[in-house]
Structure 1
Amino acid sequence: MGKVVLVTGVARPLGARFARRVRREPGVGRVVGVDAHPPPGPLGDAEFVRADIRQPAIGKVLAEHAVDTVVHMDLHGTGLTPGGGGRGAVKETNVIGTMQLLGACQKAPSVSRLVIKSTTSVYGSAPRDPAVFDEATPARSLPGGGFAKDAVEVEGYVRGFARRRPDVAVTVLRFAHILGPAAESPLAAYFSLPVLPTVLGYDPRLQFVHDDDVMEALCLAAAEPRAGFLNAGTFNIAGGGVLPLSQCARRLGRPTVPTLLPAIRWGGGALRAVGLADFSPEQLRLLTHGRVVATGHAREVLGFTPGRTTAQTLEAFARYRGPGVLPPAKLAQAVDRFARLLPGKPVPSAQAAGAGYEKEVRRDG
């Protein structure tokens, strides 16, 4: 009959999309989507079971459906749950929900594979961080709160589960910031603002991953290992190359307002209060110091290569969100006209300069 895959967090767009996607994978006979709230739309051939992973009843779902593969996607960085509630409800789902799910998996003899959707935020963002984090690099400054702290706790519980159930293949995917139509993240909300407040004197380096690549990485981790590749382990997942925040703003057509850090903290609290953006301490550290991770381990051991670079992911996100206040094409034309009026040497066009930067990013990636 094929594998039975249980997907948590299908009330979120990304979880619902994965439930539909994995059902089409060869060897998958049944997909059970689980959440405490109904999904936003149909799950295709996947079956929806209304169950709260924070409750012991999740164990009955595993047993009744003889689940052999669990893909845990009910980990979220946004400040609201699908059914309402603030940061406290999100933390309870992230941490307590994961503990309850792992306890149920430990007691379920049918479970043979566990995939966890985690985040590169577990590395933190600090001024003395290494230029590039790999999976074995310890964080210089552990996250003190928010989603990053939740993810650190979750990964600790997952390591404990792996020791207690060595017969289960456990895969942890640490995703860079996800951008795309199904993405729900504080950074996506930040990039959607008409004007981007930045920290004065800093231009952090950032990486992104497209939600299409998120689907492919999750499917690969949930599948049986291919010859020469091992699915178990911890892997960084990010698009190739990096972009500084200033370049991101220009490509999105968003003007920036360099601001002192205390003022951003104050203004960020106001934006968070009205639900426009989440300027948590974790987010502010990212916008100050940035974060870059190595992805060679995923390519060599998991066999995953992203289909889009960081720059291409941002470009796709910009098309989806629509033009900003300063569309890049019009801005480039204005810069070219101004440059032609200046005396002295000819200045290369903004379009040519952008192409040169793209080449540099691809080389560095």
Structure 2
Amino acid sequence: MGRVVLVTGAARPLAGRFVRRVQREPDVDLVLAVDTEPPAHRLGAAEFVRADIQHPAVGKLLVERSVDTVVHLDVNATPPVRRGSRAAVKEANVIGTMQLLGACQKAPAVRRLVVKSSTHVYGGAPRDPAVCRETTVPKELPGGGFAKDLVEVEGYVRGFARRRPDIAVTVLRFADVLGARAGSPLAEYLTLPVLPTVFGYDPRLQFVHEDDALAVLALAAGEPRRGSLAAGTFNIAGDGVVVLSQCARRLGRPTLPLPLPALTWAGAALRGVGAREISPEHVRLLTHGRVVDTTAMRAILGFEPEYTTADALADFIRVHGPGPLPPSTVHRAVDRLQEAVRHG
């Protein structure tokens, strides 16, 4: 009999794409897609299970269906619906993960666990190293929000790995995901007509393309390749770095530099008009930036991204279109101004 894979958070777009992708693996017989709400997207031949991972029913499902691989993608910065509260997000992230780990603890067939995390776990303080490695301890731990959820989630996952050394546990710390269909909070920020920024700062940013995110999830959830040990914690990001001002120019969007407290107020104002607010962890990212080392991703996990950071941004721009100040228009205006000055 082939493998039985359970995927949490299946109603999220990225998780839905992963559910469809993992079905194509030749050694996978069944995919169980779990979420509290039916997804708006197709799940292919996967079996959708409407359940809350905080409920004991998930533990029963793991045992009855002899699940051997669990891919936990239900750790997110935003609720599945805009009206969801921050308390509900924390409960789903932290309590949900605790309950899922408890269920895996009692499931004898489970042999592999993959957990989606984020590079936001490193926080964002001015004294943090220029490049964060998997062993980096942030100078200033996150005080709240999604980043604090990640710290707690990873702590519980490490405890689980010690209790069940027979299970290969992989934690993937993703940089912000971009691409044609990415729906991350940073992607929503980059689609604003005007980008509020922190006055005096031009942070360095890294992205991972959504196709690479799916590919590395599939690699981590599969059987280890020869010479590859797909267990441990890994930073996942595309090569290269862009600064926020470069993003704004390529997007054709003007920036609005604000003092740091004002950026927080602006984030709350966005929520008032129906947009996602700028979360505390993204305020830190837009202030100090973040770059991570991906040596372990290549040397140990055996994964080579197809897209660079700049490629992921370019694909995002291709689909979402240029803003009110597209680079071509700006270049023509500058050329006309230079020509006018040259001729007096």
2:241, 2:339 → 1: CA distance?
A: 31
1:202 partner SS: coil
**Is 1:26 the counterpart of 2:26 in the alignment?**
yes
Q: CA deviation at 1:231?
A: 0.4
TM-score by structure 2 length? 0.96
2:75 partner SS: coil
Q: CA deviation at 1:182?
A: 3.9
* Mean CA deviation greater in 325-334 or 2-11: 325-334
1:247, 1:181 → 2: CA distance?
A: 19
2:339, 2:137 → 1: CA distance?
A: 50
Per-residue Cα deviation, 1:332-362 (whole angstroms, up to 9, x for no partner) = 222233344556xxxxxxxxxxxxxxxxxxx
* Mean CA deviation greater in 243-252 or 257-266: 257-266
Q: CA deviation at 1:158?
A: 0.1
1:236-275 equivalence runs, <5 A: 236-275=235-274
CA contact (8 A) 2:5 2:69 kept: yes
Q: Tell me the residue number matched to 2:148.
A: 149
CA contact (8 A) 2:180 2:318 kept: no
Q: CA deviation at 1:99?
A: 0.4
Q: CA deviation at 1:39?
A: 1.1
1:336, 1:153 → 2: CA distance?
A: 53
Q: CA deviation at 1:272?
A: 2.2
Q: Tell me the residue number matched to 2:41.
A: 41
Q: Tell me the residue number matched to 2:51.
A: 51
2:4 partner SS: strand
Per-residue Cα deviation, 1:63-99 (whole angstroms, up to 9, x for no partner) = 1211000000001112x22495211111111011000
CA contact (8 A) 1:119 1:175 kept: yes
| Structure 2 gap segments, 5+ residues each | none
CA contact (8 A) 2:269 2:277 kept: no
2:156, 2:183 → 1: CA distance?
A: 24
Residue 69 of structure 1 aligns to which amino acid in structure 2? T
Cα distance, 1:258–1:84 mapped onto 2, change above 3 Å: closer
1:244, 1:290 → 2: CA distance?
A: 8
Per-residue Cα deviation, 1:35-87 (whole angstroms, up to 9, x for no partner) = 11101122001111111101111101111211000000001112x22495211
CA contact (8 A) 2:264 2:278 kept: yes
1:22-101 equivalence runs, <5 A: 22-78=22-78, 80-82=79-81, 84-101=83-100
2:247 partner SS: helix
**Is 1:187 the counterpart of 2:155 in the alignment?**
no
1:227 partner SS: coil
Residue 213 of structure 2 aligns to which amino acid in structure 1? V
1:302 partner SS: coil
2:201, 2:83 → 1: CA distance?
A: 35
Residue 85 of structure 1 aligns to which amino acid in structure 2? G
Q: Tell me the residue number matched to 2:16.
A: 16
1:195-234 equivalence runs, <5 A: 195-234=194-233
Q: Tell me the residue number matched to 2:291.
A: 292
Q: Tell me the residue number matched to 1:5.
A: 5
Cα distance, 1:108–1:83 mapped onto 2, change above 3 Å: farther
1:15, 1:232 → 2: CA distance?
A: 20
* Mean CA deviation greater in 158-167 or 18-27: 18-27
1:160, 1:141 → 2: CA distance?
A: 22
> Taking every aligned residue pair, what percent have the same amino acid on both sides?
66
Q: CA RMSD in A?
A: 1.5
* Mean CA deviation greater in 333-342 or 176-185: 333-342
1:32 partner SS: strand
| Structure 1 gap segments, 5+ residues each | 344-365
Cα distance, 1:176–1:218 mapped onto 2, change above 3 Å: same
TM-score by structure 1 length? 0.91
1:279-358 equivalence runs, <5 A: 279-342=278-341
CA contact (8 A) 2:194 2:255 kept: yes
Residue 49 of structure 2 aligns to which amino acid in structure 1? V
2:60, 2:88 → 1: CA distance?
A: 23
Residue 196 of structure 2 aligns to which amino acid in structure 1? P
1:243, 1:60 → 2: CA distance?
A: 46
Q: Tell me the residue number matched to 1:170.
A: 169
CA contact (8 A) 2:3 2:28 kept: yes
Per-residue Cα deviation, 1:241-282 (whole angstroms, up to 9, x for no partner) = 000000000111110011112222222211123331322222
CA contact (8 A) 1:37 1:83 kept: no
Q: Tell me the residue number matched to 2:103.
A: 104
2:156, 2:66 → 1: CA distance?
A: 23
CA contact (8 A) 1:54 1:96 kept: yes
CA contact (8 A) 1:37 1:82 kept: no
1:66 partner SS: coil
Residue 53 of structure 2 aligns to which amino acid in structure 1? I
Count of residue pairs brought into register by the alignment: 343
CA contact (8 A) 1:11 1:82 kept: no
Residue 138 of structure 1 aligns to which amino acid in structure 2? V
CA contact (8 A) 1:189 1:278 kept: no
2:300 partner SS: helix
1:39, 1:93 → 2: CA distance?
A: 17
